[in-house]
Copies of this chain bind each other. A is one copy, B any other.
Amino acid sequence: MPSRKSASTETCPVARSIDVIGDRWSLLIVRDAFDGVSRFGDFQRSLGAARNILAERLRRLVEAEILTTRPASDGTAYQEYVLTARGERLFPLVVALRQWGEQHLFERGEPHSTLIDRSTGQPVPFMAPKTSDGEPLEPDGTVVKKLQ
């Protein structure tokens, strides 16, 4: 695919986000990172991605300051990849992906993994945009204000 125009001049935040993490592997890497995966080999085994692609994506995510590297916590001289504060704020995005998938891509009764609230042991409630009064906000109730 010739010439991927960088979205760094885009004024739409959705487009810029997709430019950074909107590919096949990056979001799955982030998902695994939330799940505690941190080593190259563990990502590779978990995702089944080609090693060169995985290496390139990890490099991009580090460049984008979504992941950072640090010495492995198990005492070996190897490094591990962990989420930065910016990466951790992708949590709502991963939850949104998960909740939409749960509701629309599985047959009724078909087994799937679930996100659990540790403090209660219950599934995390459905997340949706709200007004400042806490009322549910439908797409029709919003409008994108463009600039200029």
Contacts and interface: CB of A to CB of B under 8 A. Distances in A.
A62 interface: no
A83 B138 CA distance: 13
A96 B140 CA distance: 17
A50 B97 CA distance: 26
Contacts of A96: 92-93, 95-96
Contact of A27 (B18, B28, B116, B140): B18
B144 A113 contact: yes
A127 interface: yes
Interface in A7-27: 11-18, 20, 22-24, 27
Given A13-B102, A17-B97, A28-B14, A142 B113 contact: no
Contacts of A98: 12-14, 17
A119 interface: yes
Nearest to A17: B101
A28 B24 contact: no
A125 interface: yes
Given A13-B112, A15-B101, 12 more contacts: A5-B48, A12-B101, A13-B100, A13-B105, A15-B31, A22-B24, A88-B139, A91-B139, A115-B144, A117-B142, A119-B141, A127-B127
Q: Lowest 6 A-B CB distances belong to which pairs?
A: A13-B101, A17-B101, A93-B96, A16-B105, A17-B97, A96-B96
